Amino acid sequence: LFYMHFDALIKPRHLGINFNKNSMYNFAEVWRCPLNAAGRQANCSVAGAPANKTWDPWQPWRALQLQGAIQELRETGVKFRALDNMTVYVGNDDLFYLPRSVFSLYVTLAKVFERHMLHHEAGGPTMRQLLNKLTYVQLRSMDCTGSCCKHLGPGDALSPQFRCGHAFNLTQAVMRDAVTSSIVMQRDAHANSSSFGHWRELLDAALA
């Protein structure tokens, strides 16, 4: 399962160089955030970075959503009883990948987390971390460009180093040109190219 928002973009030729279809993948780095007794983030950290990060949308009431989901899972079966309800993982959730081996368990987790309405940028990374603990399927980063809420530019889509990213403002013609050029893998693709024209028509139709 490769999930991506409509305004996200992947470049398979670059992403696929070291992509392992049997691993799980996050968008990019994910922060591990222990919670204190009041439900606040206590000391978020990521490997190689200072432990002083916070996720702005987090509020103590979100801890109740997380803990409600974990408690429901604990009551579901023995394999869930050791799950941690005092740690949340946060990060961009606009692209992610799950291999077939975790599908069944992911459906179980997703239904529970949906019932407890935990924000997807906390719920998504946390579910993948739980899948890693429950199945030992490796969890890796795609090292995508961008974030949840800021637009990338044409230069990002056309960069030789671009692997994947979010978000692209597809209401702009110049951005649709850049995304189309990235899809056809020609940095200098132009409107009289048959391949460019075909993909641009598809993109325009999808946005109509």
Structure confidence by residue, pLDDT tens digits, 83-113: 999 999 999 999 999 999 999 999 999 999 9
Reported confidence tier of residue 49, pLDDT bands at 50, 70, 90: low
Q: How crowded is residue 138: how many other Cβ atoms within 10 Å of its Cβ?
A: 12
Query: What percent of the chain is predicted at pLDDT more than 90?
Result: 68
Instruction: Give CA–CA dist 7/12, Å, rounded.
Output: 16
pLDDT for position 192:
55
Structure tokens at 145: 């460009």
User: What's the sign of the alpha-carbon dihedral 203, 121, 155, 182?
Assistant: negative
Instruction: Give CA–CA dist 111/80, Å, rounded.
Output: 15
Cα Dmax for the chain: 62
Instruction: Give CA–CA dist 34/27, Å, rounded.
Output: 21
Reported confidence tier of residue 56, pLDDT bands at 50, 70, 90: confident
At 198, give phi and psi (nearest 5°): -60, -50
The residue ranking higher by pLDDT, 56 or 133, is 133
The residue ranking higher by pLDDT, 134 or 193, is 134
Structure tokens at 77: 């079966």
At 162, give phi and psi (nearest 5°): -65, 130
Reported confidence tier of residue 195, pLDDT bands at 50, 70, 90: confident
- Find the Cα–Cα–Cα–Cα dihedral 181, 174, 167, 14, rounded to 10°: 20
pLDDT for position 55:
72
Query: What percent of the chain is predicted at pLDDT more than 70?
Result: 92
Over range 27-45, report the average pLDDT: 90
- How distant, in Å, are the alpha carbons of 59, 81, 104, 160 from that of 68? 15, 13, 21, 44
Reported confidence tier of residue 145, pLDDT bands at 50, 70, 90: very high
The residue ranking higher by pLDDT, 183 or 79, is 79
pTM, rounded to two decimals: 0.87
Which of 14-18, 150-154, 165-169, 187-191 is predicted with the least confidence, judged by mean pLDDT?
187-191
pLDDT > 70? residue 3? yes
